[in-house]
Structure 1
């Protein structure tokens, strides 16, 4: 496990992860992964993780851990995960300085 400032989780996202994890009886660990696909080339995938894996990079805020695997980290280095509520709904969003462009849905990007 590598804890660095290479990724971040906002207080809003940490609070939401904590609430979801408590409701599901799981550890407050959010995994951010990047998969090929989506309308812009890559897409973000979020899910609660059971544990931090070897080689994961982590960010911890308010007792919540954000984890990113080594392969995905190259695509999201310097990013922050936020939880945003708007008229259109509520979702986790990634502010990714590496993304050259994104799509209207906010879940995919290109480099």
Structure 2
């Protein structure tokens, strides 16, 4: 797949690089979409030590994110961001395909 169209913000790339640097044996962050959550779908974030044959790789600076092709269908055009504010720290996905999301920031519907 040549048109990945999922991007990392500068703050997400920096945070992922720091996390991966502190986790021995982990080489990437996997982002996937699962059924469930309060709005129908939810994002899942995992640290992994290798990629699967069908993974799409998104890289920026020293950050590496893996997305399986099924999840990529739901995430097309999204930006993965890292937010640090008074409410806390979290990865957030700005997904143009989501028609609704809930306050938790990890659940959405299409």
TM-score by length of 1: 0.91
Q: Distance in 1 between matches of 2:24 and 2:2?
A: 25
Q: Distance in 1 between matches of 2:57 and 2:74?
A: 15
Q: In 2 relative to 1, CA 21–3 (structure 1 residues): closer, same or farther, beyond 3 Å?
A: farther
Using the TM superposition, give the Cα deviation of residue 3 of structure 1 relative to its aligned residue in structure 2, in angstroms.
Answer: 5.6
Q: In 2 relative to 1, CA 101–24 (structure 1 residues): closer, same or farther, beyond 3 Å?
A: same
Counterpart in 2 of 1:82?
A: 81
TM-score by length of 2: 0.92
Using the TM superposition, give the Cα deviation of residue 64 of structure 1 relative to its aligned residue in structure 2, in angstroms.
Answer: 1.3
Q: Which secondary structure does the structure 2 equivalent of 1:54 belong to? A: coil
Counterpart in 2 of 1:73?
A: 72
Counterpart in 1 of 2:46?
A: 47
Q: In 2 relative to 1, CA 80–16 (structure 1 residues): closer, same or farther, beyond 3 Å?
A: same
Counterpart in 2 of 1:103?
A: 102
Q: Distance in 1 between matches of 2:52 and 2:3?
A: 15
Q: Distance in 2 between matches of 1:60 and 1:4?
A: 13
Q: In 2 relative to 1, CA 3–58 (structure 1 residues): closer, same or farther, beyond 3 Å?
A: farther
RMSD across aligned positions (CA): 1.3
Q: Which secondary structure does the structure 2 equivalent of 1:30 belong to? A: strand
Q: In 2 relative to 1, CA 4–29 (structure 1 residues): closer, same or farther, beyond 3 Å?
A: farther
